Amino acid sequence: MKTIKGPAVFLAQFMDDKEPFNSLDGLCKWASDLGYKGIQIPTWESRLIDLKKAAESKTYCDELKGKVNSYGLEITELCTHLQGQLVAVHPAYDEMFDNFAPDGYKNNPKKRQEWAVDQLLSAAKASRNLGIDVHGTFSGALLWHTWHPWPQRPPGLVELGFKELANRWTPILNAFDEQGVDVCYEVHPGEDIHDGVTFERFREATGNHKRANILYDPSHFVLQQLDYIEYIDNYHEFIKMFHVKDSEFNPTGKKGAFGGYGDWIDRAGRYRSPGDGQIDFKTIFTKLTEYGCDVWAVMEWECCIKSPEQGAREGAPFIASHIIEATQKKFDDFAGAKTDEAKLKRILGIN
C-alpha cells in the first residue's frame, strides 16, 4: 500500500486577471498559505508556464521547479486538457472548440489539430524535464454525437471511430513513451473515453498501449450513474492521477441525466465543491490506498453554488482529512510467531 500524496490543487479554474490569481508567484503563495502541498499546472496558461521553452530547456524547468519549491510546493503534473480535446474534434463542434486554439489556428481544423499534437509532444518533453512521470489530458471525440443510438448507428461506425482516435493518439503515446511519461485521460462526458467500456475500446485500438492510463475523477461518474467505487476495483492498475471533485444527481419528474438543456445550477446532475455533493470520498481514498495507487489528491473546483475562494479554503483540509497513512505493519503482528514448518504441519494435522 502507498500513502496518497496531497493536498494539491488544479490551478485552471482559479486563473483570473486579478491578483493573486494572475501569476505563478501569486498563485503559489495563495495555495501554500491555504495548506496545499502541490499544484497541477494547465499548460495552456502562458502566465504559468512557457510550454515550448519547458520542452526545450532543462534549465528553464529547473528554475520553474525552484520557484514553485520556494513556496513549499511541488508541481504534481502538467495538463493539456484543451489541447488534447483538439486532437479529435467532430465538425459539428468546430466553431465552439475553436475557442481552445490560438487565433492563428481558428477556422482551420487541420492546422488546429496539428497545433494540438505539437502541444502534446512538447508536454511529453516538458514533463520529463520537470521529472514528472504522469500527464493529464482529454481524448477528444469523434463519436460523441452518436452516444445515444438514435438514429441507429450503422454497423462498424464505433469500431472505425476508435480506430481513427487510436491512429491520432498512438504517435503521441509513443512520444510520451520515449520520455517515460504516462498519459492519463480524464474519463469525462463529451470525450470518446467517458467510462470503463470506452477506455477499454481505446486501449484495444491502440494495441493496449502501456502509456494509456486514467485520470480518475468520480464526479463525472455520478452524473452517468456509474458505480465509481467498483470502477477503482476494475481499473486501479491504470489510475495514475486523481481529481477530488464532488457532484450530485437529483432527478425529478421533469428532468434527469440529459438535463433539459439547463444551466449547471438547473440540472439534475451537477458538480459541487468537495464535501458538498454525494460522493463517498472516504471509501475512494480507502480503495486507492488499498490498491497502492501512487497518486496526488488534486482538488479541482467546479461548483455552481459555492465560490472558488471558499472551495479552495475548504479543499485543502478536506483532502488532508481523507488521506490515509498506509500502514507498514499488520495490527496483529504482536501476537505472531516465527515460521516453523514442523509446527505448521502439526497445526494442519499433517504427519
Rounded to 5 degrees, φ, ψ at 135 are -145, 135
pLDDT at 335: 64
Tell how many helices (H) and how many strands (E) occur in the chain: 13, 10
Instruction: Write down the pLDDT at residue 249.
Output: 98
Yes or no: say if 57 and 122 are a contact pair by the CB < 8 Å rule.
no
Residue 75: alpha-carbon gap to chain centroid = 15
Spatial separation of the C-alpha atoms in residues 101 and 115, rounded to whole Å? 8
Contact present, 120 and 175 (Cβ < 8 Å)? yes
DSSP strand pairing (269-272 vs 246-249) = antiparallel
The model carries a pTM of: 0.95
Sequential DSSP letters for 69-103: HTTT-EEEEEEEHHHHHTTSB-GGGHHHHGGGS-G
What domains can be seen in the chain, in order of their start residue? 5-348 (3.20.20.150)
Low-confidence ranges of the chain (pLDDT < 50): none
Q: From the CB of residue 113, how many other CB atoms can be counted at a distance below 10 Å?
A: 18
Question: Which residues lie closer than 8 Å to 74 by C-beta, 6 or more apart?
Answer: 8, 37, 38, 39, 68
Around 236, how many Cα atoms within 13 Å sit in the side-chain half-sphere?
Answer: 17
For the stretch 30-78, pLDDT in tens is 999 999 999 999 999 999 999 999 999 999 999 999 999 999 999 999 9
- The amino acid present at 48, given as its one-letter code, is L
Rounded to an integer, what distance in angstroms lies between the CA atom of residue 186 and that of residue 309?
24
What does the alpha-carbon distance between residue 137 and residue 245 come to, in Å, rounded to a whole number? 16
Residues 281-328: pLDDT tens digits? 999 999 999 999 999 999 999 999 999 999 999 999 999 999 999 988
Q: How far apart are CA 57 and CA 225, in angstroms?
A: 45
Residues 71-75: contacts with CB within 8 Å, 24+ apart? 71/28, 71/29, 71/31, 71/32, 72/32, 72/37, 73/28, 73/31, 73/32, 73/36, 73/37, 73/38, 73/39, 74/8, 74/37, 74/38, 74/39, 75/38, 75/39, 75/40, 75/41, 75/130, 75/132
The CA-to-CA distance between both ends of the chain, in Å, stands at 38
Q: Are the beta carbons of 68 and 75 closer than 8 angstroms?
A: yes
In angstroms, the CA 125 to CA 137 distance is 15
CB 221 within 8 A of CB 235: no
CA–CA dist 238, 185 (Å, integer): 10
| Nearest-angstrom CA–CA distance, 262 and 260 | 5
Q: What is the pLDDT of residue 334?
A: 66
What is the rounded CA–CA span in Å between residue 238 and residue 103?
Answer: 36
Give me the pLDDT at residue 134, please: 98
**Residue-level pLDDT at 338:** 78
Work out the angle at residue 84's Cα, subtended by the Cα atoms of residues 239 and 197, and round it to the nearest 5 degrees. Answer: 45
Among the listed residues 319, 137, 191, 326, the one whose alpha carbon sits nearest the alpha carbon of residue 246: 319
Q: Give the containing element (helix H, strand E) for 341.
A: helix 341-348
* Alpha carbon distances (Å) from 73 to 29, 44, 186: 9, 21, 23
